[in-house]
Every structure is written in structure tokens, then in C-alpha cells.
């Protein structure tokens, strides 16, 4: 009877060991697979969230660009066109005429190698002292982005002149740096 009980015990123990080994062999890879699937799902969700954020940002930018289009165009208008600065020169000549002064542009010097996106312009200015100062103010307040680099103003007549009509006349030179549109290559 003891032998039969031992045989049954060994058979049950053997089946239990095989069942445990089989369960462990199936269970642990199954759990590992579930973990990989969960990790992959989390990565996909994170990537989808990033994509949603990018789409939202793109939509926000498109909406902003549409709302601010007029401001962008107005901003672009403050930069002169270096290839054809006729509008700029016309604006400066009109400013001189409304100020009651004269402006005469000198030949454009060659742009230095590191000039970037700017244009240098030198001009002779003349007129009465108040008119010349009004012209300089109009240049500063022009619709273009202009920096006055240098101004030299001097009187045409000596101060001791008896001709009071000509005594108030001044002339000078002005050096302007005009910021320009970047040329596409």
C-alpha cells in the first residue's frame, strides 16, 4: 500500500511539476508580452498627443497669420527695395518739398561686403534753417526704417552778412542707412 501511495504521490508530483513548469513557461512570456503591448500603447498615445499639439499649434499659427496679415504687410512696407529704391527716393523728395527744403542725392557708393540688408544713401540738403530741420524730422518719421548716420549742416552766408534774406539759408549733407528687404536668391 505504501508503494501505491508513493507511486500516486510521484505521479501527482510529476503532473504538478509539469503543470507548474507549463504554467510558468506560458505565464511569464504572456505577462512580458502584455507589458510590451502596454508600453507600445503608451508610446503611441504620447506620440498622438504630440501630434495633436503640433496640429493645434499649426492651426493657432494659421489663425494668427490670418488675423495679423495686414500687420505683416505693413511691417514689410517699412523696408525699402534695394533693387529699385524709387519709392523711397520719391518719399524723401516729397518730404523735402513739403518741408520747404531741397534734397539732392549723390551717387550711391558701392555697398561694403558686410552691408547685409541695408542701403546707404548720401544727399545734399539745403534751405532755410527751420525748413532743413523739418526735413530731417520728416526723414526720421518717414514710413521707411531709416537711420540717420551722419548730418553736417552749415550756413551758406557768413553771420555778418547784411542780406537777412539769405542769412538764414543753410546747406549740408546727410548720410542715411535704410534697412531693406532681404533679396531672395
In order along the chain (185 residues), what is the average pLDDT of each group of 10 residues?
A: 77 88 80 88 91 90 85 74 76 90 81 68 90 91 87 74 64 87 63
First to last CA, the chain: 102
Q: Provide the pLDDT for residue 97.
A: 92
Q: Provide the pLDDT for residue 27.
A: 79
Q: Provide the pLDDT for residue 135.
A: 92
CATH assignment of 78-179, among 3.20.20.80, 3.90.950.20, 3.30.70.60, 3.40.50.150? 3.30.70.60
Q: What is the 8-class DSSP label of residue 180?
A: B
Residue carrying C-alpha cell 504554467: 23
Decide if 85 contacts 179 (C-beta within 8 A).
no
pTM: 0.56
Pick from 107, 109, 169, 177: nearest CA to 145: 177
Residue carrying C-alpha cell 514710413: 143
Entry field: residues in the chain: 185
Q: Provide the pLDDT for residue 25.
A: 79
Angle between helices 86-99 and 129-140 (to 10 degrees): 140
**Dihedral of CA 80/83/87/90: which sign?**
positive
Distance separating alpha carbons of residues 174 and 157, to the nearest angstrom: 20
Q: Provide the pLDDT for residue 173.
A: 92
Q: How far is CA 130 from the centre of its chain?
A: 39
Amino acid at each position: 500500500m505504501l508503494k501505491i501511495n508513493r507511486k500516486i504521490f510521484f505521479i501527482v508530483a510529476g503532473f504538478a511539476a509539469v503543470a507548474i513548469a507549463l504554467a510558468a513557461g506560458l505565464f511569464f512570456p504572456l505577462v512580458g508580452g502584455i507589458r510590451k503591448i502596454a508600453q507600445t500603447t503608451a508610446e503611441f498615445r504620447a506620440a498622438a498627443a504630440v501630434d495633436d499639439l503640433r496640429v493645434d499649434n499649426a492651426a493657432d499659427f494659421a489663425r494668427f497669420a490670418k488675423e495679423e496679415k495686414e500687420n505683416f504687410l505693413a511691417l514689410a512696407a517699412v523696408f525699402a527695395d534695394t533693387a529699385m529704391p524709387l519709392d523711397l527716393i520719391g518719399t524723401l523728395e516729397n518730404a523735402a518739398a513739403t518741408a520747404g527744403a531741397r534734397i539732392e542725392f549723390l551717387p550711391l557708393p558701392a555697398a561694403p561686403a558686410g552691408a547685409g540688408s541695408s542701403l546707404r544713401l548720401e544727399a545734399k540738403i539745403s534751405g532755410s534753417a527751420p525748413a532743413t530741420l523739418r526735413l530731417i524730422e520728416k526723414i526720421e518719421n518717414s514710413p521707411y526704417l531709416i537711420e540717420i548716420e551722419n548730418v553736417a549742416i552749415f550756413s551758406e552766408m557768413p553771420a555778418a552778412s547784411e542780406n537777412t534774406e539769405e542769412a538764414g539759408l543753410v546747406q549740408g549733407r546727410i548720410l542715411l542707412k535704410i534697412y531693406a528687404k532681404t533679396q531672395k536668391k
